[in-house]
Amino acid sequence: MLPKDVQQQLIAQGRDFMKGYRENDPYMEDFQSDQTLRLPQPPLCKAPMRGEAARTALPMHFGELPMGDFLSLIQKRKSRRIYTDEPITLLQLSFLLWASQGIKGRRGKAYATLRTVPSGGARHEYETYIAVRKVEGLAPGIYHYLPELNAVELLRAAEDPAPEIVESLSGQKWAGKASAVFYWAMDAYRAEWRYGIYAHRVALIDAGHIGQNLTLAAEAMGLGSCAVAAIEHEVCCRMLEIDGEKEFAVYAMPAGTVDPEKDAAAEQDIYRFVREQNL
């Protein structure tokens, strides 16, 4: 077992990481960001990883999607981990991507993208990858979202991505039944260019907004989703073809079709131990 004092030290480090700018910060005075040093700004989005032939344009007529009202949406929102075998439509996938990371405009010519979620300094440092299992009009496989082009590009076809989904999410088997799993990888320098040593706490907050918008978009369309932070770094690097240093997966979200009435008991069962142990 980890000695208690080592644990305490690590907990203190974790707490320090979570804190905002502090009066006794030994680095603040001398810290210079690459932006203040006038180094060139990195691209606002990662370039496509494949050629045009790998691309699928995403439909954008979201007005056709039936959605409930905001009050009932907030009321209904919950983590949903039981998915049916029905595929989601390409329009639903498109809406999930747009609602979580879609670009609505730009600040300046190429200073920042403005998206459907807020982001510290509008750095928008996340790239979205999707493991597609059951989406109408898309072959199963691993995809990369291209928000500037409203398209996804196929990185690799995979007849059944379920085993690698489960492995990438620390063995959580329920995730292998999702219609699609969204992975958000931090393209670190995009935020570090401005915030340097202070970029990472902000990036974690940004990830929360992305996940919440996806969850609410899913819920609004009668789909289910569940946030996952328990991700396996190396597996995600291999799966998403990212290097793990400059770009690394931070957060994931399986989403899919649900049948809440039929599956209410199974959903309840996930937390049966709470009842059994009288917690």
Q: How far is CA 240 from CA 53, 99, 193, 275, in A?
A: 19, 21, 23, 39
Contacts with ligand FMN, 33-72, as mask; x by CB under 6 A: ----------------------------------------
Shortest Å distance, C-beta 149 to ligand FMN:
29
Cα distance between residue 55 and residue 158, in whole Å: 16
Cα distance between residue 101 and residue 123, in whole Å: 12
Contacts with ligand FMN, 189-228, as mask; x by CB under 6 A: -------------------------------------xxx
Q: Which is nearer to ligand FMN, 132 or 231 (CB)?
A: 231
Is residue 230 close enough to count as binding ligand FMN by CB under 6 A? yes
Residue from 172, 179, 213, 257 touching ligand FMN (CB under 6 A): that is: 172
Shortest Å distance, C-beta 184 to ligand FMN:
11
Shortest Å distance, C-beta 81 to ligand FMN:
6
Shortest Å distance, C-beta 59 to ligand FMN:
29
CB 211 within 8 A of CB 218: no
Is residue 235 close enough to count as binding ligand FMN by CB under 6 A? no
Is residue 229 close enough to count as binding ligand FMN by CB under 6 A? yes
Shortest Å distance, C-beta 206 to ligand FMN:
13
Q: Residue 239's closest CA among 139, 126, 158?
A: 158
Sort residue 116 into left (φ over 0), alpha (ψ -120 to 50) or beta. alpha
CB 116 within 8 A of CB 123: no
Strands (E), the chain: 55-57, 103-107, 112-115, 126-132, 141-146, 151-157, 180-187, 223-225, 247-257
Q: Residue 65's closest CA among 26, 106, 94, 25?
A: 94
Q: Which is nearer to ligand FMN, 103 or 227 (CB)?
A: 227
Residue from 33, 35, 41, 79 touching ligand FMN (CB under 6 A): that is: 79
Shortest Å distance, C-beta 26 to ligand FMN:
30
Query: What is the size of the binding site for ligand FMN (CB under 6 A)?
Result: 9
Strands (E), 24-80: 55-57
By CB under 6 A, name the binding residues for ligand FMN. Answer: 78-79, 81, 172, 226-230
